[in-house]
Amino acid sequence: MSTAKVKRRVGKYELGRTIGEGTFAKVRFARNSQTGEAVAIKILDKEKVLKNKMVEQIKREIATMKLIKHPNVVRLYEVMGSKTKIFLVLEFVKGGELFDKIVNHGRLREDEARKYFQQLINAVDYCHSRGVYHRDLKPENLLLDEYGNLKVSDFGLSALSLQVRDDGLLHTTCGTPNYVAPEVLNDKGYDGTTADLWSCGVILFVLLAGYLPFEDDSVMTLYKKISFAEFSCPSWLSSDATRLITRILDPNPITRISVPEILEDAWFKKGYKPPIFDENCVTNLDDIDAVFKDSEEHHVTEKKEEQPAALNAFDLISMSKGLKLGNLFDGEQEFKRETRFTSKSPANEIITKIEEAAKPLGFDVQKKNYKMRLENLKAGRKGNLNIATEVFQVAPSLHMVEVRKAKGDTLEFHKVLFSASWP
């Protein structure tokens, strides 16, 4: 038989299954209990974040995502904190990773790859206009929604324009080696804009070819290939697509094609539709520091609620005499050592009503989740009468209550059943 479920709530969100897990974070599906909207909640352990000195990185990720409100970027709805956890409430994207699409189906047709690349450039251009550089663009960080639209995710390695040094460049080497620009590897500083564009070029190559342009078992050889842009496009690519890839994967960031030039490229422009959205949203960054504070006033409420065990068809059949389900709920059936009845009342209300009915009859009540044990403090013919009850969920608005004699006299059990005002 199905066991009771534990329902966990964080503020107004009811948490569900785990949909992703990393070293410092877990992502769980959740639902807004007020609106019914599905979301994804990224849960970070405060102790691990502090121990690994990641506070500034997490704050930067939160600030970055709050600044970016674009149809092709995963949306951050809100940030919450408890005593031990940080919760990022994110847009739930149903379609999975673009990476999985390539792994499962191989290279894409040019028109399909073009659509994703157009949306990627739209998102990256918008990020750059807000002073945000992703620095880890790859197919694994590109999600697809239920309509097949691309969504850029995972800004954990992103940089803000505030991090640019006096020379106007970024200096932290980061990202996934196969997608990293040559200037990032040479450790002399780089422009976040042109570095992100290089990664976009590698992604476009992977979409059209089905494999990486730069790959080698030796890290040093791989870096050499990237530094000199040693790659060749497959023969099945059109000349226009090959030309665009070559202009993006230019090892010299100064002569590398820019976003305005990409937007005017003949291959890119086919069927291009610029995104329509509100670019003037006001962003409040005040809650970023609040989630790291120890003060209770800044903490969201975390709750764990037991749910009644759910019954499926096989459970119901196994509990029914002669496989006739009607026997389960027949109020006129002869009472023996147990009986069952249904109720449309909420499970918590059923438990309360049973308790209210039992106490005037001299029963001590012990409750655990949706199970109860009623013990009559006055001994009867065969000792103290014990009654066990349990509430099961049959349907979202229908519960079944099982009442059975656990100990004592059966006749006394019958008298209690007939005299009590059961729910």
- Residue numbers in the known binding site for ATP are 42
Asked about 136 being catalytic, the answer comes back as: yes
Whether residue 255 contacts residue 249, with contact meaning beta carbons closer than 8 Å, is answered with: no
Token pair recorded at residue 88? 């990022």
Task: Tally the C-alpha atoms within 13 A of residue 71's C-alpha that lie toward its C-beta.
Answer: 13
Burial label, 28 (beta-carbon count in 10 A; 0-12, 13-18, 19+): buried
**Binding site per annotation, positions:** 42
Alpha-carbon gap, residue 107 to 104, rounded angstroms: 9
Torsion of CA 100, 103, 105, 111, to 10 degrees: 70
Query: Under the phi-then-psi rule, with left for phi > 0, alpha for psi from -120 to 50, and beta for the rest, what region is 229?
Result: left
Torsion of CA 42, 47, 51, 53, to 10 degrees: 50
- The closest of 37, 45, 264, 19 to 153, measured between CA atoms, is 19
User: Which of these is catalytic: 100, 111, 125, 136?
Assistant: 136
Element housing 248 (H / E): helix 239-248
Q: Active-site residues: which are they?
A: 136
